[in-house]
Amino acid sequence: MYVLLLVLLALPSCQAASEGHGWAYIGTKGEKSWPKNYEFCGGVYQSPIDIHQDILQYDSSLQPVKLNGYNVSPAESFTLSNNGHTVQMSLVPTMQIKIAPFHYTASQLHLHWGQRGTQKGSEHCIEGKRFAGEVHLVNYNSDKYSDITTAMKESDGLAVLGILLEVGPFNPTFEKIISQLHSIGYKDQSVQIAGFNVQELLPKRLDEYYRYEGSLTTPPCYPSVLWTVFRNPVTISEEQLITLETALYSTDRNESVQMTNNYRQLQPHGDRLVSVSFREGVVLTIALACLLGVLVIIAVTCLLIRRKRRSKKSSDSRNVAYTAAAGVEENTSKV
């Protein structure tokens, strides 16, 4: 955290340097060029990362994520828009989450995906596996900051919920978003959709997740995010995924550049550890590793004992003195 605070002290100068620059996932303004125009993108505590066993630690203090106000009345509405990088849905300020010790107010959610035929478009990976897509539900620390613009520049400013997507049964709640994509096919187009229960976009188990300190996954890449990536993916149908992968363009009608592969490449985890809220899997892995270690020790011990016995037998055989057998007198007496 100390390193993170030092990094954020440089924010005003970095922000000024990055004003006026655009960005993309490919081309001259693609990911490789981000650090030139957005200094934080080449810094520490960057996201996404590959979440794997070597960096996991169980934390018994982690509690289930608490959601408030997520069942939004149909009388209210969300704005669904194409910002040229993703599809984004604005959220209402009555939606909040509690991650001790702070309350966070919902700002927006957006999606990341790959291209048709790959089913690989998530930003975070689990044990090297990339999922079909990923939803990010962005919240800001409303206990300390008045709005998301201010909060995103602070080390404790944001909390993002990451929901991994995989292909499976049709998802009626996601269809409320996907069915409207044809209305916002081009950059800067938007549409209003009726409120619904946003919690239905999340996995049922809100008590099983990975948590770590990271960053925004797009420029300006501020390292201000407390990430909560849920362990269990949510399913959407293959048809829904294809619509997501093919319906949107990152440009206006004049250019028609399809919006695909809008995910950032994995970033170094450095010295960061990822806390996990569940024992299953983590403890099992440790137990299996211990068992394997015991078996290796037993195997080596048995091998050494066997070699020692063979060596002793060989030594004994070399020290044996052989003598001629005594003659047996033949009995020639007769009855």
**pLDDT computed for residue 315 by the predictor:** 56
Give the mean model confidence (pLDDT) for residues 2-29: 59
Give the mean model confidence (pLDDT) for residues 297-315: 67
Helix (H, G, I), strand (E, B) or coil at 44: coil
Q: Is the pLDDT of residue 331 over 50?
A: no
Q: What digits encode the pLDDT tens for the residues 231-248?
A: 999 999 999 999 999 999
Give the mean model confidence (pLDDT) for residues 158-179: 98
**Which residue among 85, 110, 112, 124 is the active-site one?**
85
Q: Is the pLDDT of residue 324 over 60?
A: no
- The strand order across the sheet containing 125-126 reads 50-51, 125-126, 129-130
List, in order of start, the domains of the chain with CATH numbers.
Answer: 31-283 (3.10.200.10)
Give the mean model confidence (pLDDT) for residues 148-174: 98
Q: Is the pLDDT of residue 133 over 50?
A: yes
Residue 49: which pLDDT band, with cuts at 50, 70 and 90? very high
Q: Is the pLDDT of residue 4 over 50?
A: no
d(CA 13, CA 47): 22
Is residue 183 within 8 Å of residue 191, measured between CB atoms? Answer: yes
Active site residue 269: no
Q: What digits encode the pLDDT tens for the residues 85-124?
A: 999 999 999 999 999 999 999 999 999 999 999 999 999 9
What residue type is 105 in one-letter code? T
Bigger pLDDT: 256 or 115?
A: 115
Bigger pLDDT: 280 or 125?
A: 125
Is residue 247 within 8 Å of residue 69, measured between CB atoms? Answer: no
Q: Please provide residue 255's backbone torsions phi and psi, each rounded to the nearest 5 degrees.
A: -110, -40
**pLDDT computed for residue 313 by the predictor:** 56
Question: Which residues are within 8 A (CB) of 197 and not within 5 positions of it... i.e. 6 or more apart?
Answer: 70, 71, 72, 173
Q: What digits encode the pLDDT tens for the residues 193-240?
A: 999 999 999 999 999 999 999 999 999 999 999 999 999 999 999 999
Q: Please provide residue 246's backbone torsions phi and psi, each rounded to the nearest 5 degrees.
A: -125, -10
**pLDDT computed for residue 319 by the predictor:** 54
Mean pLDDT of the chain: 87
DSSP-assigned states of every residue in 141-200:
ETTT-SSHHHHTTSTT-EEEEEEEEEE-S--HHHHHHHTTGGGG-STT-EEEEE--BGGG
Residue 311: which pLDDT band, with cuts at 50, 70 and 90? low
Helical (H) or strand (E) element with 82 = strand 77-82
What does pTM read for this prediction?
Answer: 0.80
Distances in whole angstroms, Cα of residue 127 to Cα of each of 52, 136, 210, 216: 5, 20, 12, 21
